[in-house]
Structure 1
Amino acid sequence: MNNPRKWKAMAFRTAVICFGLGAAGFLAHCGTSAPVLHIYTWADYFKPALVARFEKENGCRVIIDTYDSNETMYAKIKAGASGYDLLTPTSYMVSLMNSQGMVRKLDHGLLPNLVHVDPEYLKLAIDKTMDHSVPYMIVNTVIAYLGSRVKDFEPSWAMFDRSDLKGRMTMLNDMRETIGAGLKYLGYSINTTNEAELAEAKEVVVLWKKNIAKYENEQYKTGVASGEFLLVQGYSGDILQVQQENPDVRFAVPREGTSISVDDLVIPEGAREAGLAHSFINFLHDPEVAAENTAFLKYLCPNKDAYGLLSDDLRKNPAIFMDAEVRAKSEIIADLGESLALYIRIWDEIKAAK
């Protein structure tokens, strides 16, 4: 999701000593070196203890590199970067990559835990049959703010029109998210390809730009916690984590609706450890693992048999399980096909506007 997203933007690399026989059938006795699973993902996107457990059970090492946007990831893989076995792009980017032959078809025989994937989510998914991707985490975009500093708050994208907050707000450096906010404010679909609607949204976002400090995807987390920023557009899981640092941070899902992005687990065409990648995907959809990862990340893994294992606080949290009325107004970010070029042009115009 574009990206993925804890308030500490740091990657971790984990390694353990080879433990003999791995749990996956394709592993034999470890020799002088264990097989290595190379993952390219958003920062801090797996609970470290779960990664260590997978390493021990499979007699392997996991090495994680990180990106800060779908576009960065795509450009690197498209340019020929090899050596990665697993990626976690947002669904719309997965669709583009699949159309260009950049990801592998999955072997469902190696993925028995797919029976736990929520069928209600799959009705909305781009890859409904999980042919080449498996849903990992659902990310809702919200507005976060400091309750003691922002007066007369309303759960609306119109907050970015507040001149009294000028220079103390941020929006995401993501064209689908920020243009999408303008579209939802106007009552349009975040996936529209109507040029007139997009032109209207551009004008709205350009007006908002005069009030914000910057477009960015990382500093808003520590910034709103410290008071550097008073109101930000951000990702639900990030904000829930930030609230643990500063309880004055509050959030709302805009009443006009918001974007819902889903980060998927995919195996790139050039993967060297495709079997191990399948094992990791299957591991992540074990209900107990999915519940533990959800509790850590504060994003929802769409695993129906994990929901009952979550705490009451998580099950009742609207950032994780969105209110039905607002959910009905929200949309999953979809692949735009050839119309992506239109969004890129409009985003360039927004970034260039004074």
Structure 2
Amino acid sequence: MKKGTILFTAVFLLACLVMLLGCHSKGADLHLYTWADYIKPELVQQFEQENKCKIIIDTFDSNEGMYAKLKAGATGYDLITPSSYMAKIMNDQGMLLPLDHAKLPNLLHIDSEYLRIAVDPEMKYSVPYMVSYTGFGYLQDAVMDVTPSWKMLDRSDLKGRMTMLNDMRETIGAALKSLGYSLNSVNDDELSAAKAVVIGWKKNLAKFENEQYKTGLASGEFLLVHGYSGDILKVQEDNEQVAFLIPEEGFSLACDDLVIPKTAGQVDLALKFINFIHTPSVAAANTEYITYLCPNRASYDLLSEEIKSNPGIFPDEVTRSKGEVIQDLGESNIKYTKIWDEIKAAGD
């Protein structure tokens, strides 16, 4: 009887151990906070299978909204994809972890040409994820006499059928560029002039919008939209009349970065994900799917000719020279916030 009890106890303990090991083998959850539709789903599945984990995705539609949520106390995220200027703000405020390059061997594939204009060229706290260019999407069969200029927003014949990004830096930056100024200007006179331009454009807009403009353009609800290259190129799959152009006065050249917040619970897994994303074959597959460019030079040869010849993904040198990266303006950021509030209130 005693031997039977001992045997039963041993079997019971072994079963418990197997259950514990089974739970452990399910792996951890990687919480990713990012823009909508910003990674090829099959790549998510591949990473999950290779690392025996689950990726849980939460989305934001603006850098400022994401930042405000985190500053209000939101935690639980292991990886975030802010634009470079916002990543710098977050790092300066002690919100990000430094990156362990020893665990990121694929950083050697990062395009050195991009790093020359990057906000964090040494990748101390951020790794570039996707590069985009801000311009116009429009319907070729509905908008006549198209010119590659921000002045398209002055067109009263398109009133109520146009949108602009609900993003103060992008939209005020577009007005600054239309006037021949830097989109990082902190000059009060230049900013005042830009405010007047945006208020003028606002009279012709359906709304300021960051997400629905894509499907609205494809469906014909909107005829011309201010937006990101990848978003507009993606909806060409739904409507072949959609075209993308970059304004000749200049434009915002942006990069969204991969960063790890200080509150991350799965730092090692986040580093594995960053390294995975910059595996050349993965970077190429991601670029093909979301039509933004992952600045991974080793991936370029793996891209289709259609992607490599698309000027919305690989603009020529002359066009690229007119692009400007949005910078963190420090204490002068408040100038943009004030102007943006005044623009939103105008005409209400």
Q: AA paired with 1:167? A: G
Matched, 1:105 2:98: yes
Quick one: distance in 1 between partners of 2:92 and 2:194? 28
Partner of 1:340: 333
Query: Which structure's residues are more often helix, by fraction?
Result: 2
Give the Å deviation of 1:194. Answer: 1.0
Within the alignment, does 1:171 sit opposite 2:164 as a pair? yes
Cα contact 2:27–2:51 (8 A) shared by 1: no
1:306 lines up with 2:289 in the alignment: no
Choose from 178, 191, 194 the match for 1:198: 191
2:88 corresponding residue in structure 1: 95
Kept in 2: contact 1:206–1:353 (CA 8 A)? yes
CA contact (8 A) 2:214 2:231 kept: yes
Partner SS, residue 151 of structure 1? coil
**Partner amino acid, structure 2, of 1:334:** Q
Q: CA deviation at 1:275?
A: 0.3
2:109 is the counterpart of 1:116: yes
Q: Which range moves more in the overlay, 276-285 or 323-332?
A: 323-332
State the alpha-carbon separation in 2 of the partners of residues 271 and 189 from structure 1. 36
Helix, strand or coil at the partner of 1:309: coil
Asked if 1:244 is matched to 2:237, the reply is: yes
Contact 2:25/2:52 (8 A) holds in 1: no
2-side partners of 1:75 and 1:204: how far apart?
A: 27
Q: Secondary structure at the match of 1:305?
A: helix
- How far apart, in 2, do the equivalents of 1:127 and 1:169 lie? 35
Please list, as runs of the form range in 1=range in 2, the aligned pairs for 1:75-94 lying within 5 A after superposition.
75-94=68-87
What SS does the corresponding residue of 2:205 show, helix, strand or coil?
A: coil
The equivalent residue for 1:275 is: 268
Pairwise mapping of residues 1-354 of structure 1 onto structure 2 (< 5 A)? 31=24, 33-354=26-347
Cα distance in 2 for partners of 1:37, 1:96 equals 24
Deviation at 1:149, TM superposition (A): 1.0
User: Which secondary structure does the structure 1 equivalent of 2:49 belong to?
Assistant: helix
The letter for the 2-side match of 1:68 is D
- In structure 2, list runs of 5 or more residues that go unmatched: 1-20
Contact 1:256–1:326 (CA under 8 A) maintained in structure 2: no
Q: Could you tell me which amino acid in structure 2 is paired with residue 64 of structure 1?
A: I
Are the equivalent residues in 1 in contact too, given 2:83–2:257 (CA < 8 A)? yes
Q: Which amino acid aligns with 1:80?
A: G
In 1, Cα distance between the equivalents of 2:89 and 2:202?
Answer: 29
Give the TM-score of the pair, scaled to structure 2.
0.92
> Partner of 1:13 in structure 2?
none
Runs of 5+ consecutive residues of structure 1 not aligned to the other structure = 1-27
Give the distance between the partners of 1:66 and 1:323, measured in 2 at CA.
32
Q: What CA deviation, in whole Å up to 9, does each residue of 1:92-112 have, x standing for no partner?
A: 000000010000000001100
- Flag as ranges the 4+ runs of structure 1 deviating above 6 A: none
8 Å CA contact 1:144, 1:251 repeated in 2 = yes
- Is residue 257–residue 327 contact of structure 1 (8 Å, CA) maintained in 2? no
Q: Is the 8 A contact 2:80 2:259 kept in 1?
A: yes
* 1:33 Cα deviation from its structure 2 partner: 4.0
AA of the residue aligned to 1:236: S
Shift of 1:29: 7.8
AA of the residue aligned to 2:211: E
Number of equivalences: 327
Code of the residue aligned with 2:283 in structure 1: it is A
- Measured against aligned partners, the alpha-carbon deviations of 1:18-66 in whole angstroms (never above 9, x if no partner) come to xxxxxxxxxx986264211111111111111111111111111111111
Percent identity, aligned pairs only, is 62
- Aligned-pair RMSD on alpha carbons? 1.2
Aligned-partner Cα distance in 2 for 1:29–1:108: 32
Measure, in 1, the Cα distance between the counterparts of 2:137 and 2:250: 15
**Quick check: which has more Rg, 1 or 2?**
2
Per the TM alignment, residue 82 of structure 1 is displaced from its structure 2 partner at its CA by 1.4
Query: Take 2:22 and 2:96, find their aligned partners in 1: how far apart are those partners?
Result: 29
- Matched to 1:63, the amino acid is I
Distance 2:128 2:228 in 1: 17
Displacement after TM superposition at 1:219 (Å)? 1.5
Equivalent residues of 1:39, 1:86 under 8 A apart? yes
Structure 1: which amino acid aligns with 2:183? I
Separation in structure 2 between the aligned mates of residue 328 and residue 123 of structure 1, nearest angstrom: 13
